[in-house]
């Protein structure tokens, strides 16, 4: 799946990787929000948030999510948002820097597509579906039969029902046959994400490299994201980039402990060289 980037197995955090001196100083980090906050209705642990904020103040860090910027703001503390270089919302179709929307891909979904989705909702055999079930972005559309505002318990109930009825798989098959100019992804156990073929999450890599020339990208994504909407992004990583799938905040903390040590060593080396130049 990932022919170019260095790839580590699930739960095995990449790092340290054995860089040769001088240590790279232009690394850019991309974190899947679901790896930082595993619960779709949860909030980031405050101790972990402080740790991540401290790291993000030393290295350019971005967070990627399949959900809206509103959802991201409820899950990510303001301190982390302020420390990060940016947030990619709605599957990467939007880039937010601070309070500003700096990149927005736009697409006007056809009436035919919306009518199809309405019929899908009406035909759903799930007895506890809750409105609203469609979440529309500027270039993305998400279907959540349990309801886009469903509680964690309601989402778990639908996930259990879906395991027996395979409704989302049927919808995906019908959608692909009807709308070949769009991509549909099973972005969570309970939802589908739809984007036009004119957009690909691989464009996230392009945005990062435009903002950070000659950067090496280091990405940490969940298996769910890597196998769905973030798959094009993962494929776009270059041979010098590093890509890992991780389980959650524990893996991220392990990563950051490696990186903090590496930064300390790098800063000490820079200071030592500066002292040598002064003495010379």
How much is the pLDDT for 266?
A: 67
| Chain segment 45-80, per-residue pLDDT in tens | 999 999 999 999 989 999 999 999 999 999 999 999
Please tell me the predicted confidence (pLDDT) of residue 248. 85
- CATH code for the part of the protein at 111-196: 3.30.1240.20
pLDDT of residue 84: 97
Structure token digits, residue 183: 């991509």
Question: Do 135 and 145 contact (CB within 8 A), yes or no?
Answer: no
Band of pLDDT at residue 2, cut at 50, 70 and 90: very low
> What tens digit of pLDDT does each residue of 168-192 get?
999 999 999 999 999 999 999 999 9
Q: Please determine, looking at this structure, whether the domain spanning 6-105+199-279 carries the CATH number 3.40.50.1000.
A: yes
pLDDT score recorded for residue 234: 96
Pick from 139-153, 219-233, 263-277: least confident: 263-277
What is the rounded average pLDDT of the residues 191-208?
96
Instruction: Count the neighbouring beta carbons within 10 Å of the beta carbon of residue 82.
Output: 12
Residue 263: pLDDT band (50, 70, 90) is confident
pTM for the predicted model, two decimal places: 0.86
Q: Which of 134-138, 157-161, 252-256 has the lowest mean pLDDT?
A: 252-256
| pLDDT at residue 251, rounded to an integer | 86
Out of 26-40, 134-148, 241-255, least confident range: 241-255
Domain locations along the chain:
6-105+199-279, 111-196
Average pLDDT over residues 204-221: 94
Please state the rounded mean pLDDT for residues 229-237: 96
Query: Where would I find the H helices in 10-145?
Result: 33-36, 46-56, 69-75, 78-83, 111-123
Peptide bond into 16 cis (omega under 30): yes
Yes or no: say if 106 and 139 are a contact pair by the CB < 8 Å rule: yes
Q: Tens of pLDDT along 107-139?
A: 999 999 999 999 999 999 999 998 899 999 899
Tell me the range of 38-42, 92-96, 261-265 where mean pLDDT is highest.
92-96
Distances (CA, A) of 84 to 76, 81, 192, 209, 220: 11, 5, 28, 16, 15
**pLDDT tens for residues 27-46?**
999 999 999 999 988 999 99
As a whole number of Å, the CA-based R_g of the chain is: 20
């Amino acid at each position: 799946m990932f022919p170019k980037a260095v790839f580590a197995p699930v739960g095995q955090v990449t790092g340290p990787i054995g860089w040769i001196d001088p240590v790279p100083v232009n690394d850019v980090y991309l974190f899947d929000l679901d790896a930082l906050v595993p619960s779709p209705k949860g909030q980031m642990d405050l101790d972990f948030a402080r740790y991540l904020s401290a790291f993000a103040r030393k290295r350019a860090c971005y967070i990627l999510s399949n959900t809206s910027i509103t959802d991201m703001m409820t899950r990510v503390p303001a301190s982390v948002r302020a420390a990060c270089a940016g947030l990619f919302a709605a599957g990467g179709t939007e880039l937010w820097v601070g309070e500003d929307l700096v990149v927005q891909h736009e697409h006007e979904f056809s009436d035919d597509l919306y009518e199809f989705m309405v019929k899908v909702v009406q035909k759903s055999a799930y007895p506890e579906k809750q409105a609203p079930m469609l979440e529309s972005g500027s270039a993305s559309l998400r279907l959540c039969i349990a309801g886009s505002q469903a509680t964690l318990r309601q989402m778990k109930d639908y996930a259990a029902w879906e395991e027996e009825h395979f409704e989302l798989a049927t919808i995906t098959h019908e959608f692909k046959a009807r709308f070949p100019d769009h991509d549909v992804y099973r972005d969570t156990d309970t939802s589908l994400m739809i984007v036009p073929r004119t957009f690909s999450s691989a464009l996230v890599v392009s945005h990062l490299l435009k903002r950070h020339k000659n950067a090496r990208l280091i990405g940490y994504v969940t298996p769910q994201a890597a196998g769905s909407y973030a798959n094009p992004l993962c494929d776009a990583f270059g041979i010098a980039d590093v890509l890992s799938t991780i389980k959650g905040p524990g893996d991220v903390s392990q990563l950051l402990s490696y990186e903090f040590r590496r930064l300390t060593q790098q800063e000490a080396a820079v200071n030592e060289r500066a002292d040598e130049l002064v003495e010379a």
